[in-house]
């Protein structure tokens, strides 16, 4: 197993956990499988270590297909219970920051509360350019998921035998979803070793796949079909595919959080396409998801002018422009870097 943390970091993390009697575990806004999985995996680990006063606080709820995970019903959502969440953060001895690199990723209000509380923290994350506020910073941009890192963190601290079936399911959820079901380049032999260990100890991986991917509603399938047949555009001279949906279109298909998950990957799957972008109109902003193949760095593309970032081949962004202006500017910027995309 890789030793990413040095002995001083391990000792510091163990001391922080041992001395803390009030622990809060946080993750980013619009939580995905890795955010939910890593948060709940740490929650189950802390419980296994005898920590009774431990809470998971997320900025908002996850999509329905992630709400089956053991422990999800214990999560406190900042947008629903702001006072309780603020009080718990303020009273915490230790805060875990899972699957995010910047406090602003938790949202403006929750990020401000975390910053004001200034509690000792342990950050476990695989996104690029993390802030340096944590006491223990465990950052590995080569990891396929934060959940993979949570397993390694647990192992390096000597707590592998504390991994319960509930914790194993949470870890697998994050690895499976953030690795694109093990197809992304960030998947390593160690990723498979971790999953092999979890399966050997009772994990039903097929059930987790069914819970996440085989629970589609008819409206979602119609939305996906509409997006692919009516709203997909390929810019061949830049090897780029774009899908965009307006708020009215989302309402027409009774959109629920998570319904557009994976659309950008389907656009990227087109033969000859090297970058894909999905734009989704919201009430106050347009959100963008970027994906790329090979060497084109969508993290830098998103950071440059879309208020975003993430990974080299997967990133997000947002803009206050209306969706037509955002689409127009996106196409101009794609054409400006088309040679880099084609060369990747």
The pLDDT of residue 129: 87
Q: Where along the chain do the CATH 3.90.1640.10 domains lie?
A: 7-212
**Architecture (CATH level 2) of domain 7-212:** Alpha-Beta Complex (3.90)
The pLDDT of residue 113: 98
The pLDDT of residue 4: 77
C-alpha–C-alpha distance, residues 15 and 120, integer Å: 11
- Token pair listed for 260: 């557009």
Query: Burial, 172: exposed, middle or buried (Cβ in 10 Å; 0-12, 13-18, 19+)?
Result: buried
Q: Where along the chain do the CATH 3.10.310.30 domains lie?
A: 218-343
The pLDDT of residue 283: 84
What SS3 class is residue 94?
strand
The pLDDT of residue 160: 97
Residue ranges of E strands in 174-321: 232-235, 240-245, 275-281, 286-292, 309-310, 314-319
**Architecture (CATH level 2) of domain 218-343:** Roll (3.10)
pTM tops 0.85, yes or no = yes
pLDDT averaged per 10 residues in sequence order, the chain, 344 residues: 81 97 96 98 98 97 96 98 98 97 94 96 94 93 96 97 98 96 93 98 97 93 97 98 97 93 95 97 93 94 91 93 97 97 94
Cβ atoms of 41 and 194 closer than 8 Å: no
C-alpha–C-alpha distance, residues 112 and 217, integer Å: 37
């Amino acid at each position: 197993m890789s030793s990413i943390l040095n002995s001083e970091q391990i000792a510091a993390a163990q001391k922080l956990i041992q001395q803390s009697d009030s622990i809060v575990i946080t993750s980013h806004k619009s939580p995905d499988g890795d955010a939910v999985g890593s948060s709940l995996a740490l929650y189950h680990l802390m419980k296994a270590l005898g920590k009774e006063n431990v809470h998971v606080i997320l900025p908002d709820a996850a999509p329905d297909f992630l709400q089956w995970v053991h422990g999800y019903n214990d999560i406190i959502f900042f947008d629903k219970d702001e006072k309780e969440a603020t009080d718990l953060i303020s009273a915490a001895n230790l805060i875990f920051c899972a699957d995010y690199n910047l406090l602003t990723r938790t949202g403006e209000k929750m990020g401000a509360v975390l910053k004001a509380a200034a509690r000792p923290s342990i950050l476990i994350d695989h996104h690029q350019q993390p802030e340096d506020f944590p006491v223990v910073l465990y950052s590995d941009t080569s990891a396929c998921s934060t959940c993979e890192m949570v397993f390694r963190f647990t192992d390096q601290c000597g707590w592998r035998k504390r991994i319960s079936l509930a914790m194993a399911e949470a870890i697998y959820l994050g690895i499976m979803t953030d690795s694109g079901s093990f197809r992304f380049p960030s998947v390593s032999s160690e990723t498979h070793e971790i999953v092999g260990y979890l399966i050997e100890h009772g994990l039903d991986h097929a059930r987790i796949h069914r819970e996440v991917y085989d629970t589609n509603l008819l409206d979602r399938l119609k939305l996906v079909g509409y997006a692919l047949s009516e709203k997909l555009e390929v810019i061949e001279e830049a090897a780029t595919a774009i899908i965009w949906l307006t708020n009215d279109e989302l309402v027409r298909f009774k959109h629920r959080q998570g319904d557009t998950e994976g659309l950008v990957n389907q656009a990227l799957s087109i033969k000859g396409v090297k970058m894909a972008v999905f734009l989704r109109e919201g009430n106050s902003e347009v959100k963008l998801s970027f994906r790329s193949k090979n060497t084109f760095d969508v993290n830098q593309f998103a950071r440059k002018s879309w208020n975003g970032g993430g990974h080299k081949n997967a990133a997000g962004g947002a803009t206050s422009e209306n969706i037509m202006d955002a689409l127009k500017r996106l196409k101009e910027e794609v054409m400006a870097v088309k040679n880099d995309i084609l060369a990747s």
